[in-house]
Chains A and B, each alone.
Chain A
């Protein structure tokens, strides 16, 4: 089993604040990898570094063996690595179907592909994915009118539409009604098993991440604190200390 993403000794500082200090992480293909840590431990910064949102200070990031730390966000997205945002981002003035259609992969788009119409198959695909996340009946509403939880589901569906190889999810369950979380976990797992998408998930909800992930990394104060199977992480004294603030 190969590693899809290999992060090696990545450091990133903002002004004098070191957000990531020499972090190394592997995301194996076909698995669900979790990233946990207290607030301000540098999880989102690491995500942003991986997807090219900002340049890193030092270290290397590889995706399928290709060095991507110098690439821009779009280039990385076209390679097949996608991320969702902590504060959900959708195209609020467009309806759900349009949100889905525009999310098709742009990997091999040539200049004149810009002016192509959408074939029927794409509509069918968009609709079936909307059905998959339970938004079919809302498909003609402006997505800005949806509730926060529904927007989150829509963003997830858009990511699936893009057929990524790896999906980086930033707190997928934050702000979602607890009764819906089980359904969401189920869908994330199905995305992993049915669509074969590797997942790399930041999550605060321990129950969720322990239930889902195959491997978990824990950050604290910008450093990698521990990594291992969920059961090991759960019993790791350093992780418990970090969460309880003894660190």
Chain B
């Protein structure tokens, strides 16, 4: 045995604790409280940065949904951004299509001429987001058939291919504005009102994602996808329904990404395929980098990683303007090459007992451990 393990072999007498998985621990409550506080105070303290903080919450959502696949299930997708774009387009088309002709509205010669009443707008957003979420999840189910026979690098490249293809195909589809895109219905109110409205939705979506995943990882599902990550062949040999779990995990990921896409489309006000909806080389790679930075395969890692990454990103915009993309690329490389385990992963290596990794006192009547 390695010396690391021997160190852990120290007998630690712990008090008896309930054995069932608890969804929330004390630390979780503290962290969650801090996030809630920041989320609510953020737009009040920094009213000029409401948009940026709203994007931050979307980033948190990105990292978490990527981590369902990459961190928890070991299926490293480079194309999850596909569901973001798909959600964006589904939401926009629904918003428009409920009240007017989509083809006419999006035609490049005469775009965005229809005036939506406030009622139509809010109904459109609500229905659009629901459709975006469900539509993206269904797309994930369909695509699962194509890519889940692929492992490792082939899965990553295959999903990357899907995202790239989607951008190009949408770019050739006249009905949704083709490559030149189209404007989203205008918010019926002041600019500040719009920022706050979407801020609340983004924050809510990120929190909902977090709570849902937190619960999800406490059920059998969490362990099953962890098992698939560690050894899929073994999981199959033990009879786990691997395909079912993989598809469900991707659908869950796509569901929340679809919502985020719908929200982001409405926030920017104008959508087009390559830069806004399917930005493979920006958001698409950010979601991976954020999850890795925080520590993949953990519940808090992606959240912390997204926040830190977003701050780093804004800093590069301030200090390396002109070179910001190069600087960001370098940060991503350094992160991947030198600090792969991420913040939470590093803490886990350093302080295993914080995470409940320790040798327990013997139970009465237990036999000597076979050593």
State yes or no: do A and B touch (Cβ within 8 Å). yes
Q: Which residues of A contact B (CB under 8 A)?
A: 51, 72-74, 77-78, 82-83, 85, 89-95, 98, 101-103, 105-107, 109, 111, 113-120, 123-124, 127, 131, 133-142, 145-147, 149-150, 153, 158, 162, 180, 183
Bound CA–CA A139/B360 (angstroms): 7
Residues from chain B with Cβ under 8 Å of A137 in the complex = 359-362, 366, 369
Contact A102 B226 (CB under 8 A): yes
Of the candidates A114, A133, A158, the one whose C-beta lies within 8 Å of that of B238 is: A158
Interface stretch (choices B180-188, B242-250, B266-274, B282-290): B242-250
Residues from chain B with Cβ under 8 Å of A94 in the complex = 223, 226-227, 230
Contact A147 B1 (CB under 8 A): yes
Interchain residue pairs with CB less than 8 A apart (10): A77-B238, A92-B230, A93-B230, A102-B235, A114-B221, A114-B224, A115-B216, A117-B220, A120-B20, A146-B5
Residues from chain B with Cβ under 8 Å of A114 in the complex = 219-221, 224, 241, 244-245, 248
Say which size band chain B's interface belongs to.
35 or more
Bound CA–CA A106/B80 (angstroms): 29
Q: How far is the CB of B174 from chain A (nearest CB, A)?
A: 39
Contact B359 A138 (CB under 8 A): yes
Bound CA–CA A69/B220 (angstroms): 30
Of the candidates B234, B370, B371, the one whose C-beta lies within 8 Å of that of A90 is: B234
Q: How far is the CB of B19 from chain A (nearest CB, A)?
A: 4
Contact A77 B230 (CB under 8 A): no
Residue B358, interface by CB 8 Å: yes
Of the candidates A73, A116, A124, A149, the one whose C-beta lies within 8 Å of that of B237 is: A73
Contact A74 B239 (CB under 8 A): yes
Contact A106 B240 (CB under 8 A): yes
Residues from chain B with Cβ under 8 Å of A147 in the complex = 1, 371
Q: Which residues of B contact A (CB under 8 A)?
A: 1-2, 4-5, 8, 19-21, 216, 218-221, 223-224, 226-227, 229-231, 233-242, 244-245, 248, 297, 356-363, 365-371
Q: Across the A-B interface, give the 6 residue pairs with the lowest CB-CB distance, nearest first.
A: A77-B239, A91-B230, A89-B234, A123-B19, A102-B223, A78-B239
Bound CA–CA A135/B366 (angstroms): 9
CB within 8 Å for A118 and B237 given contacts A137-B360, A140-B359? no
Contact A101 B223 (CB under 8 A): yes
Residues from chain B with Cβ under 8 Å of A73 in the complex = 233, 236-237
CB within 8 Å for A91 and B234 given contacts A137-B359, A153-B370? yes
Nearest B residue to A162 by beta-carbon distance? B238
Residues from chain A with Cβ under 8 Å of B20 in the complex = 117-120, 123
Contact A115 B227 (CB under 8 A): no
Contact A134 B231 (CB under 8 A): no
Seed contacts A118-B219, A135-B369, A142-B357; 7 additional CB < 8 Å A-B pairs: A89-B234, A106-B239, A117-B21, A117-B218, A119-B20, A141-B359, A149-B370
Nearest A residue to B229 by beta-carbon distance? A93
Q: Among B233, B239, B367, B369, which residue has the most Cβ atoms of chain A within 10 A?
A: B239
Nearest A residue to B19 by beta-carbon distance? A123
Bound CA–CA A56/B27 (angstroms): 53
Nearest A residue to B8 by beta-carbon distance? A141
Contact A102 B4 (CB under 8 A): no
Residues from chain A with Cβ under 8 Å of B223 in the complex = 94, 98, 101-102
Residues from chain B with Cβ under 8 Å of A78 in the complex = 239
Residues from chain A with Cβ under 8 Å of B367 in the complex = 131, 134
Of the candidates A111, A120, A134, A145, the one whose C-beta lies within 8 Å of that of B8 is: A145
Residues from chain B with Cβ under 8 Å of A115 in the complex = 216, 219-221
Bound CA–CA A143/B61 (angstroms): 31
Bound CA–CA A109/B297 (angstroms): 25
CB within 8 Å for A116 and B226 given contacts A91-B234, A95-B357? no
Q: How far is the CB of A10 from chain B (nearest CB, A)?
A: 19
Q: How far is the CB of A165 from chain B (nearest CB, A)?
A: 12
